[in-house]
Amino acid sequence: MSPTLNASSPKQAKTDPSKTTYKIAVIGGDGTGPEVVREGLKVLNAVTKKSGFKLEFINYDLGGERYKKTGEILPDSVLSELKTMDSIFLGAIGHPDVKPGILEKGLLLRLRFELDQYINLRPVVLYPNVETPLANKKPGDIDFVVIRENTEGLYSGAGGFLRRGTVHEVALQDSINTRMGAERCIRYAFEYTRKRNKKKMLTLCGKTNVLTFAFDLWERAFYEVAKEYPDVKPDYAHVDATCMWMVKNPEYFDVIVTDNMFGDIITDLGAMIQGGMGIAAGGNLNPEAVSMFEPIGGSAPKYTGRNVINPLAAICAAGMMMDEIGRPEAAQAVEKAVFTALSSGKIKSLAAGKMGLTTTEMGDLVASLI
Ligand code: IPM
Ligand code: MN
């Protein structure tokens, strides 16, 4: 799996004002994926009813079941079709009967790489009435965004074994950091921080004291790009300190930019402090081509088909998708409806089975508030 620049993909302007219909590929995927996706689509349908644009949903049955039946994970023909979409909405990947790694690498990571989705965008927001494990933190204290590089680093698949299975075996897993890859991610992060217009502080999360090659490159790229953004304050924190502050004083952060592996880890920490996987949404972005949005919670096999899983993360991911296709007013409508649903007190908890509402009822509630 190598990063591709994907020069052949359509790099059209995303905010074409004359565009009124958007083609969205829907991959329900495994476990509870299809259930949460269904609620996300319900909310999007409520949005388009009141807006001047249409969404055309095209379903793809990718995931563990298809792999078990046919051995196919992501056929090239499907990949070509996905490249023509305006966006992709993904439920979850991961099947209890499929060895871990096969679907993750063959589907999720392959899509990220093939579509060159070089940004992983993860807002970390504590909504009203949501319980955080952090003592004395309230909404407003936890409100930052992690921008994770999504196509390089330890995820590049570079490395190999020597003398595997012997007492002298060697395993190498290389972190690939290109100047181009780091810089485009950093530049996106500066732009994002400027547009977000809150504290206007961008923190580079790295490990310059130990990873003296990889983060030397990142740090130089960061401070060079920073000169183009005099209105944004560049800031630096080691990844271990970042974890500490995310727990101790999360209000410090505005936007964090980091590499693929550190980003993977700190965004799970972020999901927990904002109330768990039930509310954590993410986007895999190619700002010039096709992006993909997903709740980050996974397939939750034990809750599958029981109508008890929390769809809010999928609904929030659907909202983020509206922003990316160039419909920020629709994104705001979804965000506001989720906010109002949580403020209403009707949702008892974000944990599966403890919400006081079914999956379907949660979707109905948010849709009714659009
Ligand atoms: C994520 C996930 C993936 C990752 C897995 C499923 C491959 O944990 O989106 O953060 O490690 O990137
Ligand atoms: Mn992860």
Cβ–Cβ < 8 Å for 150, 284: yes
Model pLDDT for residues 269-297, shown as the tens digit of each residue: 999 999 999 999 999 999 999 999 999 98
- Within 13 A of 337's CA, how many CA atoms are on the CB side? 27
pTM of the model: 0.95
Residue closest via CA to ligand 1's atom 11 equals: 264
- Please report, for residues 31, 144, 198, 209, 306, the alpha-carbon distance to residue 253 in angstroms, rounded to integers and kept in the order given: 34, 6, 10, 21, 38
* 90 Cβ inside 6 Å of ligand 1: no
What is the Å distance from ligand 1's center to 299 Cα? 12
Going by C-alpha positions, the residue among 156, 124, 115, 116 that lies closest to residue 142 is 124
Q: Is the pLDDT of residue 15 over 70?
A: no
pLDDT band at 16; cut points 50, 70, 90:
confident
- Within 13 A of 219's CA, how many CA atoms are on the CB side? 15
Neighbours of 227 (CB within 10 A): 8
User: Distance (Å, rounded) from C-alpha 10 to C-alpha 326?
Assistant: 16
Q: Please state which CATH number belongs to domain 1-127+280-370.
A: 3.40.718.10
* 108 Cβ inside 6 Å of ligand 1: yes
pLDDT band at 13; cut points 50, 70, 90:
low
SS3 state at 283: strand
* 296 Cβ inside 6 Å of ligand 1: yes
What is the Å distance from ligand 2's center to 260 Cα? 10
- What mean pLDDT value characterizes the chain? 95
List the Cα angle 226/229/205 in 5-degree steps: 40
Q: Is the pLDDT of residue 82 over 80?
A: yes
